[in-house]
Amino acid sequence: MERTKIIDAIKHYQEIGKTISVKGWVRTKRGNNSVAFIALNDGSIVHNIQIVVDLANFDETLIKQITTGACIHVIGKLVESQGKGQSVEIQAFEIELYGSADPESYPLQKKGHSVEFLREIGHLRPRTNFFGCVLRLRHAMAFAIHQYFNDKGFFYMHTPLITASDAEGAGEMFNVTTMDLNNIPKIDGKVDYSQDFFGKPVSLTVSGQLEGELGALALGGIYTCGPTFRAENSNTPRHLAEFWMIEPEVAFNDITDNMNLAEDFIKSLVKYALEHNMDDLQFLNDMFDKELIERLNFVVNNDFIRLPYTEAIDILLNSHVKFEYKVEWGVDLQSEHERYLVEQHFKKPVILTDYPKDIKAFYMKQNDDGRTVRAMDVLFPKIGEIIGGSEREESYEKLLRRIQELHIPEKDIWWYLETRKFGSAPHSGFGLGFERLLLFVTGMTNIRDVIPFPRTPQNAEF
Ligand code: 4AD
Ligand code: MG
């Protein structure tokens, strides 16, 4: 008999009265001497389906082995539920045990484990309701991203993970090599990269942007969606060493078009979650964050504030708040500053523009004032920076001068410069941190809880 997913059994009432087959993992079993109630979950939806077992019809040793965590196959009749809290249940005719889970050693015996404990059992964490919600929302957001750009005529471009250029210029890259680290070939005391796999030093990418620009300047609008890697040693609730980034890049867009795209993009993703994942959102709202759904609706329904960096600095200076990090024109804003602007001052998402050039990457379009660039960061409540982007410098001369000022080796970046030599065009783009988006959409407060296998300093177990 074909398996029915629990989501279909719960949501499709035309099946009532039918004999169906369901398979899943036992969340709980309770009951008395004559009847057992099994809450079964198969991951298709956060809700369990109740299996009603008339003990007179089943082997006692089989029933004993059906404990929390066990995997079973049930054939039975789908009926309207007598009990409270569920709409349908299954009266079991046959039960097959696929895999037991020893109650003495199964770590998810009890309900209500802390998210910190669950991180330590990353291999079993997907079996919890909370992480099931996170994984389903991750999928939904990934799907919505592709749908959004496809509908807008953007092309999905695959940019390389192994690269010779440091796109953000922050020097936080993981080296990639096949050399024997215990026996590194050297010439005059320096590593002889000519003997390495690619014949030169290469790293894992920190961003697909530079290659994405090559696509935008040919196809008009592209986006990337892939893993990026940063070896920054910041053990914070918002940083991962391996995270996913979505980077649209659009020819002929200026910074205003770029801001419009970013705002519309995020709003439509949040709207998608509200329209398609309400069961998961309601669970997370009830269990973790009572204001989650309200916050999501707020973002969808309100315009983002747009403000130059210089004005933001004035607001922070006039706030008379004692920040841990000093505020003055020229500093890179810390999360405490970003969150003050978003959560206390404006109480809305904020897009900050026109940052000092010295704290931003080399490729950003230089403003006429000589000291700022056409950068834009989107700041979100509870998160801080969720998007970073800019209009790009399209002038060959200005870009070359900036590359030289920052001592970026031209031999690594000549191909990027050539886009400004041949048919250069105004263009803009941004990067959305996928896990930062998920922090917002799930209401989780630690980025380790929105990615299946977090990579952070000193941690790559699962
Ligand atoms: O601001 P970032 O560094 O911008 C870029 O990489 C540009 N090349 C993007 C572009 O214009 N195409 O990173 C973009 C976003 C940040 O706003 C943040 O959401 C996320 O990526 N991000 C991280 N997320 C998790 N862990 C980290 N270590 C992150 N670093 C950046
Ligand atoms: Mg940034």
**pLDDT (0 to 100) of residue 243:** 98
| Minimum-distance ligand 1 atom for the alpha carbon of 447 | 25
Nearest Cα neighbor of 49 from 15, 78, 18 is 78
**pLDDT (0 to 100) of residue 83:** 74
CA pair distance 452, 457, nearest whole angstrom:
16
CA distances from 227 to 244, 310, 341 (A): 4, 33, 30
Given phi > 0 = left and psi -120 to 50 = alpha, else beta, which region is 189? left
Cβ–Cβ under 8 Å, residues 421 and 396: yes
Q: What is the residue-level pLDDT of the chain in tens, covering all 462 positions?
A: 999 999 999 987 678 899 999 999 999 999 999 999 999 999 999 999 999 999 999 999 999 999 999 999 999 999 998 877 778 999 999 999 999 999 999 999 888 899 999 999 999 999 999 999 999 999 999 999 999 999 999 999 999 999 998 888 877 999 999 999 999 999 999 999 999 999 999 999 999 999 999 999 999 999 999 999 999 888 899 999 999 999 999 999 999 999 999 999 999 999 999 999 999 999 999 999 999 999 999 999 999 999 999 999 999 999 999 999 999 999 999 999 999 999 999 999 999 999 999 999 999 999 999 999 999 999 999 999 999 999 999 999 999 999 999 999 998 899 999 999 999 999 999 999 999 999 999 999 999 999 999 999 999 988
CA pair distance 390, 248, nearest whole angstrom:
11
| Minimum-distance ligand 1 atom for the alpha carbon of 387 | 17
DSSP H or E stretch at residue 401 = helix 396-405
Ligand 1 mutation target, pool 165, 236, 436, 449, most atoms within 8 A of CB: 436
* Angle at 390 (CA atoms; ends 384, 391), nearest 5 degrees: 160
HSE at residue 400, side-chain half, CA atoms within 13 A, is 11
Nearest ligand to residue 239 Cα:
1
pTM as predicted: 0.96
Strands of 310-440, DSSP E:
350-356, 372-380, 384-391, 427-433
Neighbours of 72 (CB within 10 A): 22
Helices (H), 252-342: 255-276, 278-287, 292-301, 309-318, 335-339
What sign for the dihedral angle of Cα 448, 449, 450, 452?
positive
Q: Which fold has domain 6-106?
A: OB fold (Dihydrolipoamide Acetyltransferase, E2P) (2.40.50)
CA of 134 to the centre of ligand 2 (A): 24
| DSSP 8-state symbol, 179 | S
Nearest CA residue ID for atom 26, ligand 1: 239
CA pair distance 235, 237, nearest whole angstrom:
7
Nearest CA residue ID for atom 7, ligand 1: 431
Ligand 1 mutation target, pool 230, 232, 234, 245, most atoms within 8 A of CB: 245
| Minimum-distance ligand 1 atom for the alpha carbon of 385 | 17
**pLDDT (0 to 100) of residue 375:** 98
Nearest Cα neighbor of 40 from 17, 70, 3 is 70
Nearest CA residue ID for atom 2, ligand 1: 388
CA pair distance 421, 416, nearest whole angstrom:
9
CA of 247 to the centre of ligand 1 (A): 9
Domain 125-449 has CATH 3.40.50.2300: no
CA of 279 to the centre of ligand 1 (A): 30
CA pair distance 243, 138, nearest whole angstrom:
13
**pLDDT (0 to 100) of residue 110:** 83
Q: How far apart are the first and last CA of the chain?
A: 35
* Structural domain boundaries in the chain: 6-106, 125-449
One-letter amino acid of 453: F
Ligand 1 interacting residues, C-beta cut-off 6 A:
167-168, 207, 209, 230, 232, 239-240, 243, 245, 247, 385-389, 429-431, 433, 435-436
Cβ–Cβ under 8 Å, residues 49 and 93: no
One-letter amino acid of 371: R
CA of 172 to the centre of ligand 1 (A): 12
